[in-house]
Amino acid sequence: MDLEIRDLHVQVEEKVILKGVNLTVNKGEVHALMGPNGSGKSTLANVLMGNPFYQVMQGDVLYKGEDLLAMAPDERARKGLFIAFQYPVAIPGVTMASFLRTAVSARRGYSKELIPVGEFQKILRAKIEELKMDPAITGRYINEGFSGGEKKRAEILQMALLEPEIAIMDETDSGLDIDSVKIVADGVNRMFDAAKGQMGILVITHYSRVLHYIKPDYVHVIFDGRLVVSGGAELAEELERSGYEGIKSQVDVIHSEVAASGAVRRAGKVFWVVH
Amino acid sequence: MISREAVEAISARTGEPVWMREQRLAAWGVYESLPLPDPTQEEWRRTDISGLRLDALRALVDGTGPVAAALPPRAAALAGGEERAGLLVQRDGRTVQHVLDEAAQRQGVLFLDLDQAVRQAPDLVREHFLSVIRPDELKFRALHAALRTGGTFLYVPPGVEVTLPLVTSTWLNTPGAGLFPHTLLVAGEGSKVTFLDVFGSDGMSRQTVVSNAAELILRDGAQVRYVAFQDWGANVWEFGLIRARLGRDAALHSLIVAFGGSLVKTDIESKLEGPGSQSEMLGLYFGDGTQHFDFHTLQEHLAPHTLSDLLYKGAVKDRARTVFAGLIRVHPGGQKTNAFQSNRNLILNTGAKSDSIPKLEIMANDLRCTHGSATSRLNDEHLFYLMSRGLTRRQAVQMVVDGFFAEVFDRVPLPRLGEQMQQEIGRKIAEL
């Protein structure tokens, strides 16, 4: 197993956000994680990347058999974990070109020198073209003054350059118009195909729209810090029809039953395990 | 030791004219009569010089060793890789290397060791030397005027443009010495020149004092870019003054870069005397260890339609401390003036400290003036973002700090100097 999350509990400041998440993502698989706002989707993404703002209270994450939570964010990245952030930060004064060259060098194992400029430029130009981006972006400061769409595409550009083994896309589709969603999805699909089974993707999204373009093998629904439903691609379609309300009512039923009896319960598609 | 006899010996050695000898001796008298700056005075309140031992300083009467001896590699590196029209290298106040492009020579540019200039162009030197700075302003200025050795005289005749930069590299070699380099730059009407004043030394085994001074005289319409770049070693204490006078429509672009020394107190002043004159004042400093940097800047508007635009950015780490105190003074004659001042500091760890004190003295009523200061810490979100792409923490910090300084780099069209600054910044961060 390439990424195995076991019983993960996470809090931010004093607030518990993840209340026992279990999920396994392997290379060659596309998973979708869906859920309403505030359910813990972004927390999961950030904690997997090692954002120091989030505290792991309980649980384990194994990445290629190693303890992921013991690694610093840069080590995770160099070992092939990637996250496309929902809200990437702007860093004044640092050009995209110098940042990307340093990042690509780190991922490719250059420890003293950086990847030769010529070689890097070639790779960069190709990826920028694939994602139909303006080449002038490389001279701009990281995310500074970028439109919402430019930021998201810049995240996917980084994903393309860093060739991750497990990539998490945190609401990359939100705020994108339909043409941009297609371009981004095409780019991701191309990466996935080119990786020939050596890449796994976790697509975190609020809406099922992006899943028409990036076809998931598995769909998971997160509610209030727990994965409550897992299924195939058809689950996304069901959610598209019924919204999260249908699931929420099932969750509410179980919640009261669990509170009463403290056992494992199922209501329709929803299951609940008390740890 | 420094003494009246040492002043006389230096004067005799350089074979300078009587007026300069008398000027030196008068300055020595002033030095002896003036007390050290009063620590309760606002300007000296934040910089403790109680550990200063001026009496113990060694006077550089004879220079040190054979002048042809090779400079340490770092001294050569400090001279920079910038393409240039001329280079003057001095060690302990004595010239060890001097070249000036033939083209510049033909244009009548004088680029000389100041001791040499006193003999070769006595009238020009006499007219301008100590015309902008007075020895009785401060004990350190008097000491400088009395014991000055070497230094640079740069004269650009009216209408002459020197395209490539001229560089002076001042290397301090003797522990315990007092070094008093002087830069006298006279840019004639409508002339244009770039001058890099580079200073450095290795670490010193004991307290070594530099009291340097630069007089920048810009005639009407002159355009000057002046860069002072210092990388003193440990135990060097610097008391410096850079003061410019600008004539009508003259434009000065200055950049002060400070990396080295144990205690550095530098004043940087622009006097906008001619209508329409403009002064861009940039500063970049990085203190680490127990370094103490103190910059006092003055944007003095004496004429109408003048512009000053100051941006000083500093990083501070370990237990270092920096002080920035900037004054904008607009005289009654300074109507229709634009004066901007901004100081930004980046604190890299707890224990390091930056003070920022902006001040205004406005005696005119029709002007535009802004000033601001901000001190921030390393942003954890920035570091996390960069590290999430595989950069080590050190690489991430370096990138954020370079980014912080980019606003200054981007305004100085000297790429090699930019690289040199980045390298020095990298070296300081490596020890984080």
**Higher local confidence (pLDDT), B216 or A177:** B216
Contact B387 A74 (CB under 8 A): yes
User: Cβ distance B274 to B220 under 8 Å?
Assistant: yes
**Closest-CA residue of chain B to A102:** B391
Q: How far is A80 from chain B (nearest CA, A)?
A: 9
State the nearest Cα–Cα gap between B418 and chain A, in angstroms: 14
CA-based nearest distance A106→chain B, Å: 6
pLDDT at residue B246 in the model: 98
User: What average pLDDT does range B154-183 have in this prediction?
Assistant: 96
* Shortest CA distance from B403: residue in chain A: A93
Q: What pLDDT, on a 0 to 100 scale, did the predictor assign at position B365?
A: 92
Q: Which of B391, B404, B406 sits opposite A74 (nearest CB)?
A: B391
In percent, how much of chain B has pLDDT > 70? 95
**Which tokens in the block code for residue A221?**
């629904």
Q: Which residues of A touch B405 (CB under 8 A)?
A: 93
CA distance A114 to chain B (A): 12
The mean per-residue pLDDT over the stretch B286-314 comes to 98
Q: Which of A76, A83, A93 faces B404 most closely, judged by CB atoms?
A: A93
Residue of B nearest to A91 (CA): B382
Q: pLDDT for B174-212, tens place per residue? A: 999 999 999 999 999 999 999 999 999 999 999 999 999
pLDDT at B66 over 60: no
User: Residues for chain B: how many in total?
Assistant: 432
| B374 class by beta-carbon count within 10 Å (0-12 exposed, 13-18 middle, 19+ buried) | exposed
Residue B295, classed as helix, strand or coil, is strand
The DSSP string of A173-229 is TTT--HHHHHHHHHHHHHHHHHTTT--EEEEEESSSGGGGTS--SEEEEEETTEEEE
Summarize the confidence of residues A173-177 as an average pLDDT.
89
DSSP string, A137-181: GGGSEETTT--HHHHHHHHHHHHHHH--SEEEEESTTTT--HHHH
CB contact under 8 A, B387 and A85: no
User: In terms of Cα–Cα distance, which of A179, A135, A128 is closest to A156?
Assistant: A128
pLDDT digits (tens, 9 = 90+) for A185-235: 999 999 999 999 999 999 999 888 899 999 999 999 999 999 988 989 988
Give contacts of B385 with chain A, Cβ < 8 Å: 85, 88-89, 91, 142
Report helix, strand or coil for A130. helix
Distance from CA of B394 to the nearest CA of A (A): 11
Task: Tell me if B389 and A83 make a contact (CB, 8 A cut-off).
Answer: no
Cβ contact, residue pair A73, B399, below 8 Å: no
CA-based nearest residue in chain B for residue A74? B390
Interface test with A, best of B311, B384, B400, B405 (most A CBs within 10 A): B384
Shortest distance between the Cα of A99 and any Cα of chain B, in A, equals 8
Which pLDDT band holds residue A240 (cuts at 50, 70, 90)?
confident
- Poorest-pLDDT segment among A110-114, A149-153, B246-250, B295-299: A110-114
Q: Would you state the pLDDT for residue A253?
A: 73
What integer pLDDT is reported at residue B71 of this predicted model?
Answer: 63
Q: Could B385 and A141 be called an inter-chain contact, meaning their C-beta atoms sit closer than 8 Å?
A: no
Identify the bridge partners of residue B241 per DSSP, sorted by sequence position. B213, B267
Examine the pLDDT at B335 and tell me if it is beyond 50: yes
Q: How far is B383 from chain A (nearest CA, A)?
A: 10
Q: In the 8-state DSSP scheme, what is residue B55?
A: G
- pLDDT at B14 (0 to 100): 87
Q: Name the residue among B390, B402, B404 with its Cβ closest to that of A74.
A: B390
pLDDT for residue A102 is more than 70: yes
Interface-testing mutation among B346, B379, B386, with chain A (most A C-beta atoms within 10 A): B386
pLDDT digits (tens, 9 = 90+) for B3-28: 999 999 999 988 899 999 999 999 99
A-B Cβ pairs (cutoff 8 Å, strict): 83
Of A89, A94, A158, the CB nearest to B399: A94
Enumerate the domain spans of chain A: 3-272
**Burial of B30 per CB tally in 10 Å (0-12, 13-18, 19+):** buried
A247-256, B227-236, B316-325: segment of lowest average pLDDT: A247-256
pLDDT at A248: 78
**According to the model, what pLDDT value does residue B15 have?**
87
Phi-psi region of A139 (alpha: psi -120 to 50; beta: other; left: phi over 0): alpha
Is a pLDDT exceeding 60 seen at residue A262?
no
What is the residue-averaged pLDDT of chain A? 91
Q: What is the mean pLDDT of residues B372-401?
A: 95
Task: Say whether B384 and A83 touch across the interface (CB within 8 A).
Answer: no
Instruction: Choose from A71, A74, A112, A140 for mutation: most chain B CBs within 10 A.
Output: A74
Q: Which chain A residues are within 8 Å of B387, Cβ to Cβ?
A: 50, 72-74, 77
Choosing among B311, B378, B391, which should be mutated to test the A contact, i.e. which has the most A CBs within 10 A?
A: B391
Cβ of A74 and B406 within 8 Å? no
How far from chain centre, in Å, is Cα A86?
A: 9
Question: What is the interface pTM, i.e. ipTM, of the complex?
Answer: 0.94
Q: How far apart are CA A56 and CA A6, in angstroms?
A: 12
Across A234-243, B38-47, B157-166, which has the greatest mean pLDDT? B157-166
Structure confidence at residue B286 (pLDDT): 98
pLDDT, tens only, A20-35: 999 999 999 999 999 9
**pLDDT score, position A256:** 72
Per the document, the length of chain A is 275
B384 contacts in A (CB within 8 Å)?
49-53, 73
How close is the nearest chain A Cα to the Cα of B427, in Å? 15
pLDDT over 50 (residue A275): no
CB distance B389–A93 less than 8 Å? no
Residue A274: pLDDT band (50, 70, 90) is very low
- Identify which of A94, A103, A107 has the shortest CB distance to residue B403: A94
Q: With cut-offs at 50, 70 and 90, classify the pLDDT of residue A250.
A: confident
Mean pLDDT of chain B: 94
**Cβ pair A103:B393 closer than 8 A:** no
Averaged over B39-59, what is the pLDDT? 92
Please give the residue that has the higher pLDDT: either A100 or A260: A100
Chain A positions in Cβ-Cβ contact with residue B390 (cut-off 8 Å)? 74, 77-78, 103, 106-107, 162
What local confidence, expressed as pLDDT, does residue B159 receive? 98
Architecture of domain A3-272: 3-Layer(aba) Sandwich (3.40)
Specify the pLDDT at position B81: 67
What 3-state class would DSSP assign to A249? helix
Which residues does B58 contact at the CB level (< 8 Å), separation at least 6? B1, B2, B174, B176, B177, B178
State how far the alpha carbon of B332 is from the alpha carbons of B358, B362, B365, B367, in Å. 20, 8, 8, 11
Q: Spell out which chain A residues touch chain B, with contact meaning CB-CB distance below 8 angstroms.
A: 49-53, 72-74, 76-78, 83, 85, 88-89, 91-94, 98-99, 102-103, 106-107, 141-142, 158, 162
